[in-house]
Amino acid sequence: MSSKQGGKAKPLKQPKSEKKEYDESDLANIQKKKDEEKALKELRAKAQQKGSFGGAGLKKSGKK
């Protein structure tokens, strides 16, 4: 193939999506998801501060 165009082809521009109208149940579900994600982030931050569990690491056998 003898093509003068080099490099990666640019992706086509996506059409702008229109804003969706949500009813009360959708808004409640979205808020619930945001709250769950926030709680997970907090738990991850706490887990990183505490360090690894057990502290034993990998156990090596005596065999060689």
Write the pLDDT tens digit of every residue in 11-20: 888 888 888 8
Mean pLDDT (the chain) is: 80
DSSP 62: S
| Better pLDDT: 14 or 56 | 14
Cβ proximity of 22 and 30 under 8 Å = yes
- This prediction has a pTM of 0.45
Confidence of residue 38 (pLDDT cuts 50, 70, 90): very high
